Amino acid sequence: MKRTAITLVAILAITATLAGAATTDRWLHIRVEERDGRGERVKVNLPLSMLGKVAGAIDVEEIDGHSFRGGRVRISDTHIDHGDLRAMWNAVKEADDMDFVNIESTEENVSVAKDQGYLLVRVRPGQNDGDDDEALDDDRRRGERVDIKVPLAVVDALLSAGEKELDLQAALMALAESGEGVLVVVEDGRSSVRIWIDDLNSSE
């Protein structure tokens, strides 16, 4: 699940990064803070217009079975049937607001919901069922929390490409039209990651 969450975060971050094609004044902000170790802090403020144009300029034929051309990412080594994925997404889109997935375990609780035009992914630490604390993995002990908020139109656009392709260009256009706000928050006891969009060129 952690890997899935990371993949979702990565896709969302890339999509957000590319969202500048239709905007001129919006900025993408990324904050990463480590609370232990060297206490690293990373702050990134980039104009979305620049990132959108960069995405359009990328032309990579083949890297590890993937290619990036014309704003579309082609994933060659996936076994997911695009038709099935699209059909499943259409069903989600047409459904009323609700929780689609609820997975509860001792490790973590994961929920995927549709709410007022957004797809919400939420990960919370699982309930302690009496296990010895030492048996818990590091993430759970530290209380990993993940919140992802993606406009439905963005996912729709992302899946609008052909077989084995993700249309990032279309997704970014949809994201740019969706306005400013927080896209991703990941927190645990050791670090936090926050990605958001607004009209300021600095987050201070």
Partner 1 sequence: MTNANPVLKIVAGLAVCGLFLFTLAGAAFISAGTVFISVQEKGSDGFSISLPVPVNLASTALSFIPEEALEEIRAEIGPWMPVVEVVLAELARCPDGPLIEVENDHETVTIVKRGGELVIDVDTRDETVHLSVPIRGVAKLVRQLGAGNHLG
What does the binding site for partner 1 look like in residue numbers (CB under 8 A)?
Answer: 34, 38-47, 49-50, 53-54, 56-60, 201-202
Helix 2-17 × helix 168-177 angle, to 10°: 70
Q: Which is nearer to partner 1, 40 or 81 (CB)?
A: 40
CB of 41 to partner 1, least distance (A): 5
CB of 61 to partner 1, least distance (A): 8
d(CA 158, CA 46): 22
Residue 18's φ and ψ, nearest 5 degrees, are -90, 0
Q: Which is nearer to partner 1, 53 or 93 (CB)?
A: 53
* Beta-bridge partner residues of 187: 145, 192
3-state SS assignment for residue 130: coil
CB of 59 to partner 1, least distance (A): 6
CB of 15 to partner 1, least distance (A): 18
Q: Which is nearer to partner 1, 38 or 79 (CB)?
A: 38
Q: Which is nearer to partner 1, 44 or 103 (CB)?
A: 44
